[in-house]
Structure 1
Amino acid sequence: MSDIQTWALVFVALTFSVYIYIAWRSRVRETKGFFVAEQNVPAFANGAAVAADWMSAASFISMAGLIAFLGSDGSVYLMGWTGGFVLLALLLAPYLRKWGKFTVPEFVGDRFSESVRSVAAVVAIVVSFTYVVGQMSGGGIVFSRFLQVPQHWGVVIAAVVIFAYAVFGGMKGITWTQVAQYTVMIVAYLIPAWAVAQTMTGIAVPQVSFGQILAELDAIGREFGMDTYTQAFTARPQLDVFLVTMSLMIGTAGLPHVIIRFYTTKTVRGARFSALWALVFIALLYTTAPAVGAFTKLNMLQGVQGVSVDALPSWVANWQATGLVSLADGTDTVGTITNNADTFAAGGADMLLNNDILVLASPEIAGLPAPIVGLVAAGGLAAAMSTAAGLLLVISSSASHDLYFRYVDHHASERRRLFVSRVAMGVAVLVAIYFGINPPAFVGQVVAFAFGLAASTFFPVLILGIFWKRTNAAGAVSGMLAGLVFTASYMIYTLEVFGTQAHEHVLGISPEGIGAVGALLNLVVTVVVSTLTRPPSEHVQEMVEEIRYPARRTVPVRSAD
């Protein structure tokens, strides 16, 4: 076992032990603790948990790689994912917390009708499954490289640990586990970034110092036939840059597993401050990611430029073993490098890189000590597992609380409902394992698809449900279904998923950006159908009027049916 494997095993075993211990100490026996952590989580801790829940494998593992190879156009991920939290804090979090329910479908059911609740529960499951695939795949990548475990077994190991701590404590256990995971994640991300920045520029503040190397990065990138790193709209058309940013932004504000976290605070004020703390915690990583991408890309290109295959750095062979780096047949000297930021294959490249390796390989590429490499492995797993646990809870709560309890056994006891929730979580884990082993795209892209689905389904209905009293059940269900069918169909049309043939992007719109168009379609359909059909009852309209003032103490909640 190499030094890197040894340190990775040490950090992974240590952190996994902490997660399981926290979950055991936080185990619950009632649904309120399982679904919303007894609504007793302090704002500071909830902010850290929100950050960990949302900063998934895509943020930790994949985002810097996307920025590195997309260049300026990669800023869509920074603007979209952080901007979405501003929308969430201002337009949704305090109002949904005022409602005081367990799930997003439960709000939709109270606001519109039980039939809309059922549709929302199914949509929540679809979105969450799409998102969790990326997390499982990310966990498999970490295990595959650092512990020399086949990627499919890495996915299985990560899933078993996630299931163990999620099923014990539900939201309560997940919340405090995510606080620990955020700590591991941010330490593992910042320490290598500081070290590389100090080594390359003499200034250990990557957010400041990476500007010094951009001209050099542009020059060496051109030698490899790559787009200019600092030039806008080279990797994506301008329209697509706008749509991807918008899709990620409103998708963030509509993600069920993020929204549900704001139900766990003590007060509405706590929900607002949770969003503020979450933005602070997220900014620590998001302001560092562009620097990590730039530094690592420059280090990588300088290390392989004109180098014969026999003399390539050791990190190339290490990652070749995982299948995430490959050399073209007959390659003697590396002269061109292609990545999979927009394509899954590239002909004629001497070296093909998967975007998902860049952060994980960064310490190796920079020649940092083995303990730091091992720490990064633990951070990558923390990122994947923290989000996966929240997603599994959404799937579990939607299946048990919004479907089983409402339609199968309305008089189920607390014990029975908890049992069904845990069974649903187990089934979700098995499905997630399969798709984690056989993902339809790389981690960052799979996660972007989930954001697109959330943008085109939940966000318009939640906004209209809070701020337009005229919105009714017919409009809400029509809008959600229109957005879901349109967005999912376009994604399947433009990607090789489920055995379909990939087609050209219409008007240059990528599948990551189509969610914004789906959201607009949802909005239009909801407004038109609501206008042409009977308005909601006076009681529902009074209820909507009440939640617009989050500081008030009560909401006269009653099912719309």
Structure 2
Amino acid sequence: MTIKVVTTLLYFAVVFYLGYKGWKETKGASDYMLAGRRISPFVMAMSYGATFVSTSAIIGFGGAAGLFGFPLLWLTVLTVVVGVFISMVFFGKRTRRMGLALNCRTFPELLGKRYQSRFLQSFSGGIIFLFIPVYAAAVLIGICRMVEVSFGLPYTWVLLGVTAIVALYVVTGGLKAVMYTDAFQGTIMAVMMLVLVAYTYSMLGGVTEAHQTLTDMAHLMPEKLQKGGMLGWTQGAVPFSPLWLTIYTTIVYGVGIGVLAQPQLAVRFMTVPSDRELNRAVLYGGVFILLMTGVAFTVGALSNAVFFKEFGTISIAMAEGNIDKIIPMYIETMMPPWFSAIFLMAMFAAAMSTLSSQFHVGGTSLGHDIYARAMRTRVRAAGNAMAINQMGVIITILATLVWAWMLPPSVIARATAFFFGLCASAFLPTYLLGLYWKGMTKTGAKVSMVGGFSFSMLWLLFIMEKEASAIGLCQFLFGKATLVAHAAPGSWLHLLQWVDPNVVALPFSFMLAWGVSVFSTSLAEEHVEACWQNC
């Protein structure tokens, strides 16, 4: 406990120093929202990775790997290929250039100025502000569960304490403070994950022996999971069974594709001074994401073998049915005391790096894209743009705190996948086609964004089994958990309950964008040409 306290205090001392450094260098709204557009490739890549990979990935999806096994490694493949390479090379460069040419400070402002639409900026800002607290709450729950298990403190105390710490340097220091601390925190995370995977394999006798042990445990898969289609932790699930659909449509596809339209990640492309920094950031970011997600999912799956070897039970039983506690329990019970102390610091790093970015993007969406856009004249005259953004951050933090109290157990991975999928359905067609297609019109962008968002939410409320049942609106209106609940078991209609909204909503949103743009009036030719010349 002494080691934990000392390392935690040292960690926070560095974090607050970097937050102070960011505060000293923040002179205006551009510094607060875009870090002055002068960030180095290493800091940008580590901030991008640390924002992307948080306790939701390590604790939430790591816990999900404890339940479902190695199939989650397909998400690692997508996060490296799509989330780093495609995102930085094909989205990052054009986003940076267009953001600079149009003088954009936020992701919603980029969409609004690209299409010359105040509605698009405000509507996208509203989606971000309303729903990013759900994602942030998932990250907050992850670190709070880790501290709860590690220190034995009440969950409520931990929730309030962690929120207050992150709020202190995000509200005052802006994006510079966020990115400086992200780079430091990401470095800690990378070192700890290397130690974690090496120690786990050593406890099981090596890589080959560990995987064989886990394969031989297939008969221990819980009966409920077997009925859902699971064959084993290394074998995966029966194709098109309910759990196969959950793994590959919600976790792998929903998160792996949804990363392309994450506002807190896209804004980082606008913080570097040139394309050269983005090219260099691909290598840093690729290695970091591979290490973070690959290790978390591997160790989550192998925790079953370690727990069974030591205690005769599998991970979900050790965590008393809450998958969000699998990784914390594994660290506290199986790893050396010195490691659990330092890993706790790494989890603080993972949570705080992502939370700070989520609070920042949620606050600027409210302050800059909604309030300041609606009250543009008064804000400029008063010169208080930065204060308004800070107030937006505070409101976002409070909303996150409320969600963290309300959300049920085992929710981290689900809440994360929900936000990623929602962003893809609402933003990705407008964002991608706005970067690459001159024929994309303002009307097409509006219809696509509203249609994709609406379709995704309707699917979530009336088709998706877990979410629709928990919310209860479908039960209240129609007297059944989902609209397809009474379809013949095994039929394609019945299986739709486990298909992620993004699988259907994203193609629908793309069709709306293309179809409406083809038959609607284009934007002013000179505006489109100006965008393209600068890209």
Shorter-normalised TM-score: what interval? 0.7 to 0.9
Q: 1:364 aligns with which of 324, 328, 332?
A: 332
1:86-133: CA deviation from partner (whole Å, max 9, x where unpaired): 321232110010022211111111111122211111122234223211
Asked whether the equivalents of residues 150 and 328 of structure 2 are also in contact (C-alpha less than 8 Å), the reply is no
Asked whether the equivalents of residues 210 and 291 of structure 1 are also in contact (C-alpha less than 8 Å), the reply is no
Asked whether the equivalents of residues 68 and 74 of structure 1 are also in contact (C-alpha less than 8 Å), the reply is no
Following the alignment from structure 1 to structure 2, what is the Cα–Cα distance between the partners of residues 511 and 127?
A: 22
1:310-329 paired onto structure 2 within 5 Å: none
Following the alignment from structure 2 to structure 1, what is the Cα–Cα distance between the partners of residues 44 and 377?
A: 31
1:195-244: CA deviation from partner (whole Å, max 9, x where unpaired): 2322332xxxxxxx434322221223414546312223347565555533
Give the corresponding residue for 1:42.
40
Following the alignment from structure 1 to structure 2, what is the Cα–Cα distance between the partners of residues 17 and 350?
A: 34
Asked whether the equivalents of residues 84 and 248 of structure 1 are also in contact (C-alpha less than 8 Å), the reply is no
Give the corresponding residue for 2:185.
181
Change (3 A) 1:83 1:294: same
Give the corresponding residue for 2:12.
16
Give the corresponding residue for 1:379.
346
Asked whether the equivalents of residues 36 and 172 of structure 1 are also in contact (C-alpha less than 8 Å), the reply is yes
Give the corresponding residue for 1:212.
209
Mean CA deviation greater in 486-495 or 162-171: 486-495
Following the alignment from structure 1 to structure 2, what is the Cα–Cα distance between the partners of residues 276 and 268?
A: 14
Change (3 A) 1:433 1:499: farther
- The one-letter amino acid paired with 1:490 is W
Give the corresponding residue for 1:253.
260
Mean CA deviation greater in 399-408 or 494-503: 494-503
Give the corresponding residue for 1:459.
428
- The one-letter amino acid paired with 1:447 is T
Mean CA deviation greater in 288-297 or 175-184: 288-297
Following the alignment from structure 2 to structure 1, what is the Cα–Cα distance between the partners of residues 221 and 208?
A: 21
Q: 1:406 aligns with which of 352, 359, 373?
A: 373
- The one-letter amino acid paired with 1:107 is L
Give the corresponding residue for 1:67.
65
Q: Does residue 196 of structure 2 align to residue 192 of structure 1?
A: yes
Change (3 A) 1:372 1:351: closer
Give the corresponding residue for 1:430.
398
Shift of the alpha carbon at 1:83? 3.2
- The one-letter amino acid paired with 1:16 is F
Q: 1:416 aligns with which of 374, 381, 384?
A: 384
Mean CA deviation greater in 502-511 or 45-54: 502-511
1:455-480: CA deviation from partner (whole Å, max 9, x where unpaired): 11111111111111111111111111
1:371-393: CA deviation from partner (whole Å, max 9, x where unpaired): 21111222222111111110111
1:239-278 paired onto structure 2 within 5 Å: 241-244=247-250, 245-278=252-285
Change (3 A) 1:512 1:76: farther
Change (3 A) 1:221 1:11: farther
Change (3 A) 1:277 1:511: farther
- The one-letter amino acid paired with 1:233 is A
SS at match of 1:216: helix
Change (3 A) 1:135 1:46: same
Following the alignment from structure 2 to structure 1, what is the Cα–Cα distance between the partners of residues 362 and 176?
A: 16
- The one-letter amino acid paired with 1:363 is I
Change (3 A) 1:129 1:83: farther
Mean CA deviation greater in 379-388 or 238-247: 238-247
Give the corresponding residue for 2:133.
129
- The one-letter amino acid paired with 2:97 is K
- The one-letter amino acid paired with 1:362 is Y
Give the corresponding residue for 2:166.
162
Change (3 A) 1:89 1:25: closer
1:274-314: CA deviation from partner (whole Å, max 9, x where unpaired): 23321121122233234312332101122332xxxxxxxxx
Q: 2:321 aligns with which of 353, 356, 365?
A: 353
1:318-342: CA deviation from partner (whole Å, max 9, x where unpaired): xxxxxxxxxxxxxxxx6xx684xxx
Following the alignment from structure 1 to structure 2, what is the Cα–Cα distance between the partners of residues 509 and 12?
A: 46
Following the alignment from structure 1 to structure 2, what is the Cα–Cα distance between the partners of residues 97 and 118?
A: 21
Give the corresponding residue for 1:89.
88
- The one-letter amino acid paired with 2:209 is Q
Following the alignment from structure 1 to structure 2, what is the Cα–Cα distance between the partners of residues 507 and 452?
A: 21
Give the corresponding residue for 1:523.
510
Following the alignment from structure 1 to structure 2, what is the Cα–Cα distance between the partners of residues 510 and 67?
A: 21
Asked whether the equivalents of residues 65 and 298 of structure 2 are also in contact (C-alpha less than 8 Å), the reply is no
Q: Does residue 146 of structure 2 align to residue 149 of structure 1?
A: no
Give the corresponding residue for 2:292.
285
TM-score by length of 2: 0.87
Give the corresponding residue for 2:108.
105
What's the C-alpha RMSD, in Å, of the aligned pairs?
Answer: 2.4
Structure 2: runs of 5 or more not aligned: 476-480, 486-492
Q: 2:22 aligns with which of 17, 20, 26?
A: 26
Change (3 A) 1:397 1:512: farther
- The one-letter amino acid paired with 2:132 is S
Shift of the alpha carbon at 1:267? 1.0
Asked whether the equivalents of residues 73 and 298 of structure 2 are also in contact (C-alpha less than 8 Å), the reply is no
Mean CA deviation greater in 504-513 or 71-80: 504-513
Q: Does residue 400 of structure 2 align to residue 394 of structure 1?
A: no
1:326-361: CA deviation from partner (whole Å, max 9, x where unpaired): xxxxxxxx6xx684xxxxxxxxx8984322223222
Asked whether the equivalents of residues 367 and 391 of structure 2 are also in contact (C-alpha less than 8 Å), the reply is no
TM-score by length of 1: 0.83
Structure 1: runs of 5 or more not aligned: 202-208, 306-333, 340-348, 549-561
Give the corresponding residue for 1:310.
none
Following the alignment from structure 1 to structure 2, what is the Cα–Cα distance between the partners of residues 350 and 10?
A: 29
Shift of the alpha carbon at 1:448? 0.9
Following the alignment from structure 2 to structure 1, what is the Cα–Cα distance between the partners of residues 332 and 298?
A: 16
Asked whether the equivalents of residues 65 and 359 of structure 1 are also in contact (C-alpha less than 8 Å), the reply is yes
Give the corresponding residue for 2:488.
none
SS at match of 2:384: helix
Following the alignment from structure 2 to structure 1, what is the Cα–Cα distance between the partners of residues 163 and 356?
A: 9
Change (3 A) 1:123 1:143: same
- The one-letter amino acid paired with 1:132 is A
Give the corresponding residue for 1:482.
451
Following the alignment from structure 2 to structure 1, what is the Cα–Cα distance between the partners of residues 433 and 515?
A: 12
Mean CA deviation greater in 137-146 or 455-464: 137-146
SS at match of 1:412: helix
- The one-letter amino acid paired with 2:249 is L
Number of residue pairs matched by the alignment: 497
Following the alignment from structure 2 to structure 1, what is the Cα–Cα distance between the partners of residues 266 and 512?
A: 24
Following the alignment from structure 1 to structure 2, what is the Cα–Cα distance between the partners of residues 354 and 199?
A: 24
Asked whether the equivalents of residues 54 and 353 of structure 2 are also in contact (C-alpha less than 8 Å), the reply is yes
Following the alignment from structure 2 to structure 1, what is the Cα–Cα distance between the partners of residues 174 and 328?
A: 30
Asked whether the equivalents of residues 259 and 420 of structure 2 are also in contact (C-alpha less than 8 Å), the reply is yes
Mean CA deviation greater in 393-402 or 438-447: 438-447
Asked whether the equivalents of residues 44 and 277 of structure 1 are also in contact (C-alpha less than 8 Å), the reply is yes
Shift of the alpha carbon at 1:59? 1.6
Mean CA deviation greater in 183-192 or 229-238: 229-238
